[in-house]
Amino acid sequence: KGKRDKKGKGAEKTAAKMEKKVSRRAKKEEEDLEALIAEFQSLDAKKTQVIESSCPPPSPRLNGSLSAHPERDELILFGGEYFNGQKTYLYNDLYIYSIRKNSWSKLEIPNPPPRRCAHQAAVVPTAGGQLWIFGGEFASPNGEQFYHYKDLWVLHLATKTWEQIKASGGPSGRSGHRMVMCKRQLIIFGGFHESARDYIYYNDVYAFNLDSFTWSKLAPAGIGPAPRSGCQMTASPEGNIIIYGGYSKQRIKKDVDKGTLHTDMFLLKAEGVGKEEEKWTWSRLSPSGVKPPPRSGFSVAVGPGNRSLLFGGVQDEEEEESLEGDFFNDIYFYDMGKNRWFPAQLKGPKSEKRKRRRGKQAESEAAGDEVEQSPPQGPLEIVKEVVAEDGTVMTIKQVISGPAEEKERSESEEEEEEEGGALGQQVEPCPRSNAMVAVKHGILYVYGGMFEVGDRQFTLSDLHSIDLHKMGEWKVLVEMDPKAQEWLEESESDEEDDDVEGAEGGEEEEESSEEESEDDEGEEQHPAVEPGENPEEYLSRTEQYWVKVARSHMGPEAKEKKVVKVAHAMAKTFHEDSV
């Protein structure tokens, strides 16, 4: 026990030293970015009145927040980020999605929080509804410097006004943390802070009292989770907090980091909530059922029936010189009452299901004993292709979990029928990470997010929904627009980096037109395709040029074989696009 205490104190000292180091290095970076943030705030300050106008769906983004209005059939989208291959764009715009009308409107309110992503939002059903925002990050246009916020804001939904709440003693600046409303408190856990060279992950817990407007740092008894960001955090009806998973990394030697996908689960139990002697205790949870495969970048929400849910995410496969990810679009439920995980399985439309059953029965009767037995269902891999406007073919690999084995299902058949079901070929969101999700009236809404193909990132702007009571089929409310899939290669335009204002905001229409013109400029630099020239002829004539482009994009460390492969693909894509 003595050894363990000593070890714990040593770890605390190391963490405190690292925090000081990160804080010192980050200070200079943050001073540079504060000037940029102030510039954007001065632009926002020119807005003096509330303007609500109908608009097309928001532009592609990830790491924003999507929240269900507590009193109306509306969803509220705030903030987020977008990367086009050259620049990082941060947003602080506010969109309202009308569920009944399936339409979007933009809400411009004076003095909003500064642009940010990876923040947290929590809805409080008080005085017509409030949306509370804490923390998040701002990045420089080149995505190499970060500013981490520690500010707390509230959007009063009834009066459409933003208010910054200034209270001392709150968490340090961070992003990737989690925040939930529990009784009359906002509880914040974890997150990380990053500078250009250093980073630190947190596992501290803070509470903000919604009656006294004061912060307190909790000191729970017991052994809690290791520091992490991006975990699942849920408040139970009894006022306890459940933590699952998350991601962290640590430096194993100079310039070498090792990432960890956490799969452990903890309960933070409250005793005497609201009283002066409020006590919190950590304990480890060992759930039954089928846990989600390890992943990061998943999205979380609370569904009906005392169940929290997890959607999508990515499992990175670290190879010697590259990082490739398997993206998910599955849903896993955690039953808080039974302490049990299980994968959601779509039942499909009822009429189709009956037809399919009848069809299968008829087929087996007609074929007699010669019917080929299907092999046991494991994870099913589906590969599909999407063509972007610039001709790039995105191959999306999607893994669908097979039904759990009988021995893993200890519940009654009736419950299996409720949770499981046949999986038909249906429309569904493509696999993705860092999507924004919300649940309203038992329906899950999934908006945006991203996935990667090689070195290219695809940021999404589609909207899907599924009824969590029926688990029938996904509905497409806003389709993915291939025209929005723009990607600028680093070599295409160096002028962009100097244009700070264009890099980080302004109206989205201006952004897209600016980016289009830059894209055109980039294309003019490539060797033109001559009339009647086939792909092989074009490649043999321009191979040297495209290898140079691929090398500048992939960096000097990339293997020659991979560079040549990418160069050939780029040349072929350019040829097809030109033809």
Q: What is the pLDDT of residue 28?
A: 60
Rg for the chain, CA atoms, rounded: 25
Closest CA to 451 of 186, 132, 178, 60: 60
Same domain, yes or no, for 342 and 475?
yes
Q: What is the pLDDT of residue 359?
A: 43
Tell me phi and psi for residue 94, to 5 degrees.
-125, 120
Same domain, yes or no, for 238 and 331?
yes
Q: Which two tokens stand for residue 147?
A: 């500013």
Same domain, yes or no, for 573 and 445?
no
User: In the 8-state DSSP scheme, what is residue 85?
Assistant: S
- Cα distances (Å, whole numbers) of residue 63 to 118, 137, 384, 432, 459: 5, 10, 25, 12, 11
Same domain, yes or no, for 277 and 337?
yes
Domain boundary among 443, 463, 483: 483
**Alpha-carbon dihedral 330, 317, 141, 514, rounded to 10 degrees:** -60
- Cα distances (Å, whole numbers) of residue 553 to 424, 556, 563: 41, 9, 9
The answer to whether 166 and 98 have CB atoms below 8 angstroms apart is no
CB crowding 127-143: b at 16 or more within 10 Å, else e? eebbbbbbbbbbbbbee
> What three-state secondary structure class fits 533?
coil
CATH of the domain at 441: 2.120.10.80
Same domain, yes or no, for 219 and 297?
yes
pLDDT along the chain (579 residues), means of 10: 49 60 60 74 79 94 97 97 91 97 96 96 95 95 87 97 96 97 95 86 97 96 96 94 95 84 96 73 97 96 96 80 80 97 85 42 40 43 55 55 44 43 66 97 97 88 96 93 72 42 42 39 66 86 85 74 79 77
Same domain, yes or no, for 223 and 120?
yes
Residue 154 belongs to some domain of the structure: yes
Q: What is the pLDDT of residue 512?
A: 41
Q: What is the pLDDT of residue 577?
A: 72
Residue 439 belongs to some domain of the structure: yes
Question: What domain range includes position 542?
Answer: 535-577
Contacts 24+ apart (CB under 8 A), 196-199: 196/25, 196/29, 196/144, 196/145, 197/25, 198/18, 198/21, 198/22, 198/25, 198/26, 199/22, 199/249
Residue 324 belongs to some domain of the structure: yes
The residue whose two tokens read 């003095």 is 111
Domain tally for the chain? 2
Residue 282 belongs to some domain of the structure: yes
95 sits in which H/E element? strand 88-98
Residue 408 belongs to some domain of the structure: no
Closest CA to 269 of 318, 235, 227: 235
Same domain, yes or no, for 135 and 246?
yes
Residue 330 CA to residue 543 CA, distance in Å, equals: 41
Same domain, yes or no, for 564 and 451?
no
Report the DSSP beta bridge partners of residue 438.
Answer: 445
Spell out where 403-535 has E strands. 436-440, 443-453, 456-467, 475-478
Q: What is the pLDDT of residue 69?
A: 97
Residue 458 belongs to some domain of the structure: yes
Q: What is the pLDDT of residue 546?
A: 80
Residue 118 belongs to some domain of the structure: yes
Residue 236 belongs to some domain of the structure: yes
Residue 469 CA to residue 453 CA, distance in Å, equals: 34
Same domain, yes or no, for 565 and 438?
no
Residue 296 CA to residue 548 CA, distance in Å, equals: 34
Closest CA to 185 of 139, 231, 122, 230: 122
